[in-house]
Amino acid sequence: MYLLIGEDELAKQEKIQSLKKQLFPPELEPFNYDVFSAKELTLPLLTQALGRIPVRAKNRLLVIKDMLKLKSALQEYCVNHLKAQAEKSTIVFDVGRMPEERNIFLSHMLKITEVAHFKTAGSVNAFSLARAIEKKNADSALVLLADLFKAGEKAERILGGLRYQLVKQSSTLEDKRKKVNFLLETDVNLKTGKLKPEFALEMLVVKLCR
């Protein structure tokens, strides 16, 4: 199972086309490929699609667009039962922009799927990253951090932007002290090369979101 996150629709379609080529020849696509809108999808429709036998192919390919719009019963099914029921299907879930608030369904799906990140429309900066951290939304914060690195942003600049935003937003002296300690620890890890920049900042984000 795959989870495609981001708003670069062209790049996501290229990923889906690549999966098609791996699974079946073009002339068999009508028999082996289904696309569903999460908002319109029902459990009977999904189980019916999962029950179809691949035609001269190892697996069928199912794409579910706008995954976060799935109804609650379908979300529960995807988390607890889908993997066992999808022996003959490769399933691709699609998410555009990550939600600012923590989403329990998304957190579960991130653990049981192979995740691919794509560009998010608009500018991603330390402010949007700090906002996700303040909301304790580690999933969104880590995706935003990955977007910053993909955009060529340096770890030191990201850390500097976070320092300015997070210290300014501290609600209490104790909260400010805790954030400063985490930021200083990360700064040392970057300057000494003790940790890779990406890993050092990922650790920082996780700590700040607790």
Q: Residue 71 above 90 pLDDT?
A: yes
What letters, b where the CB count within 10 A reaches 16 and e where it falls short, cover 173-196?
eeeeeebeebbeebbebbeeeeee
Q: Residue 123 above 60 pLDDT?
A: no
Tens-digit pLDDT profile for residues 4-30: 998 888 788 989 999 999 999 999 999
Domains annotated for the chain, with CATH where assigned, are 1-122 (3.40.50.300), 124-210 (1.20.272.10)
Going through the chain in order, the beta strands assigned E by DSSP cover 2-5, 33-37, 60-65, 89-95, 114-117
> Quick one: pLDDT at residue 124?
64
Instruction: Residue 139: name the closest of 92, 182, 96, 102 by CA.
Output: 102
The lowest-confidence range among 16-25, 72-81, 98-107 is: 98-107
Q: Residue 121 above 80 pLDDT?
A: no
Q: Residue 127 above 90 pLDDT?
A: no
Rounded CA-CA distance 31/71 in Å is: 26
3-state secondary structure of 117: strand
What percent of the chain stands above pLDDT 70?
A: 98
* Full-model pTM: 0.66
Instruction: Tell me the pLDDT of the chain averaged across its residues.
Output: 89
* CB 92 within 8 Å of CB 19: yes
> Quick one: pLDDT at residue 125?
75
Of the pLDDT bands very low, low, confident and very high (cuts 50, 70, 90), residue 122 is low
Ramachandran angles phi, psi of 175, nearest 5°: -60, -45
Rounded CA-CA distance 114/136 in Å is: 23
Return the bridge partners of 160, or none.
none
> Quick one: pLDDT at residue 120?
65
Instruction: Residue 59: name the closest of 28, 90, 33, 81 by CA.
Output: 90
The lowest-confidence range among 99-108, 121-130, 131-140, 165-174 is: 121-130
The lowest-confidence range among 49-58, 70-79, 124-133, 156-165 is: 124-133
